[in-house]
Structures are given as structure tokens and as C-alpha cells.
Amino acid sequence: MKLTFYKYQGTGNDFVILDNRDLTFPKDDTQLVASMCDRKFGIGADGLILLEEDVASDFKMVYYNADGNQSSMCGNGGRCIVDFARSLGIISNETEFIATDGLHEAHINDEIVSLKMIDVSDFKISENFIFLNTGSPHHVQLVKELDDFDVKNKGKDIRCNVYGEAGANVNFVEQISNDVFKVRTYERGVEDETLSCGTGVTAVALALHKMNKLQEHKASLLTPGGTLRVRFTPGNTGYKNVFLEGPATMVFKGIWEQ
């Protein structure tokens, strides 16, 4: 079996992307996906994405975590597949596509991909953190001295012991200024810290506005892999017009053969 793949990254959050419009990829082969994402013996990625045809939109996005299992929405992956669809000639600079959490619109301007995320109205607020779903479940917690924080071990503990078998992604945040925040994320399915998480920084921006830590309707989120921006419209029942913005870059193209 020979598979043509494309390696993409969005602020260091990296993906293997395949054009599966002919439906030849063995979608139930968990071990194949995990092997392709393996950083020692495979291509290496935080996740794998399939682009497929969809009757009601420009294309369909199917997302797998690095462990080989299909998963919930990935914001940076969504931005990367938009750039991939443009490279295939499926779209120009604007699109609508379907993902596991519903329909998304996106546009590309000067190589920055702006992706509309789902509306968010449900927040579970605790004394030390906020939990919300921005297409994927996220725990958001403010900390001090984030650069020295033990993200992997603290994140794993919260992911497993607070949220059970299904787990959640865990974001640790340090405020830098009125609308600038540092973010480090432990991702379920990867089971490690990633350089960036799109649904994660989206959750951070909305959570901090909900906590009155962010007065603006936009934020810059500084991740280890680069800067992402989130803008939104707050309302009486939650947040709408939520956009995740940042670069998406193809790293290389290759053939997987086995």
C-alpha cells in the first residue's frame, strides 16, 4: 500500500494530511494511524487528518489523535486542512467545510487562516479553573511562572483524575498584559504537551473573558510554537462569531509505503 501524504504545521501543532476523496484510506486501522504519527518510527505528528468529499459543503474533515483514534475538533488542524484544500484547487480563499462538531467557515488572507469555531455558551466554573467545550473539551487554569511549570505531569494528572476515562485537554495560562496571555497545553490522545492547540487557545480566550481577566473581545495567545489570535462576540447567553487566526504551513510531501 502506497499513501501520498502531506506534513503540515500550525504554530508547531503538526499533522499528517491525506486526500481521501477516493475513500481508499483504511479508516478503521488504528495501528496504521498511530504508526504514521509516531515520532520515532513514523512520519511524526500530533494527529492525522483526512480530507473527504461532502455533498453539502466544500469538503469533510476527519481527525485522528496521534494514538490512532478518531477524535473531536482540532482548531489548528482545521486551519491546516483549509490551506491544503486550497493547494488542491478545491477552494480559493474562502470555504465552508464539515467537521465532527458541525459546519465551519474559513478564509485565507496573506497566508493567515481564519477559522470560525462553534458558538460557546456552557461554562463549568470552579474556584481554580473553568471547563468548556470549543469543539473539544478544555480545562483552563491560571498559574504563575508558566515557563517553569510542570505541564506534562500536572496536565496528565488533571486529564486522568479529574475528567475520567474520556479525559479533557488541559491549558495552563499566565497573563502577560490586558489582552496577551501565555498558554501551554497538555493534549489528550497525544498524552503530552503540544507546541500549540487551536481549540485550547480558543477556550482560553473565552474563559478569561468570562472570568473578567480579558476586557477586549480579542486576545493574542503566546504558545511555545508561536502566536495565535482569537476574536469573538460576547452575548447574553455566551459567545458567537468566534474566530481562531494564525499561520498554516506545509512542511513536506511524501509517500508512506508498507
In one-letter notation, the amino acid at residue 20 is N
For the chain, the residue count is 258
Give the three-class secondary structure for 16.
strand
Give me the catalytic one of 37, 74, 80, 160.
74
pLDDT of residue 258: 80
pLDDT of residue 112: 97
Read off the pLDDT of residues 11-27 as tens digits, 9 standing for 90 and up: 999 999 999 999 999 99
User: CATH assignment of 2-115+248-257?
Assistant: 3.10.310.10
User: Rounded to 5 degrees, what are φ and ψ at 35?
Assistant: -65, -40
The angle formed by the CA atoms of residues 57, 59 and 61, to the nearest 5 degrees, is 120
Read off the pLDDT of residues 160-174 as tens digits, 9 standing for 90 and up: 999 998 899 999 999
How far apart CA 8 and CA 69 sit, in angstroms, is 19
**Cell digits of residue 64:** 485522528
Q: Considering only CA atoms, which of 123, 128, 164 is closest in space to residue 144?
A: 128
How far apart CA 69 and CA 63 sit, in angstroms, is 9
Look up 37 and say whether it is catalytic. Answer: no
pTM of the entire structure? 0.96
How far apart CA 205 and CA 214 sit, in angstroms, is 8
Each residue's pLDDT expressed in tens, for the chain with a length of 258 residues? 899 999 999 999 999 999 999 999 999 999 999 999 999 999 999 999 999 999 999 999 999 999 999 999 999 999 999 999 999 999 999 999 999 999 999 999 988 999 999 999 999 999 899 999 999 999 999 999 999 999 999 999 999 999 998 899 999 999 999 999 999 999 999 999 999 999 999 999 999 999 999 999 999 999 999 999 999 999 988 999 999 999 999 999 999 998
pLDDT of residue 165: 86
**Cell digits of residue 4:** 501520498
- H or E stretch at 80: helix 75-87
Range(s) within the chain of domains with CATH label 3.10.310.10? 2-115+248-257, 123-245
Q: Which CATH architecture has domain 123-245?
A: Roll (3.10)
Give me the catalytic one of 37, 80, 160, 197.
197
Look up 74 and say whether it is catalytic. Answer: yes
Question: CB neighbours of 119 closer than 8 A, spacing ≥ 6?
Answer: 238, 239, 240, 242
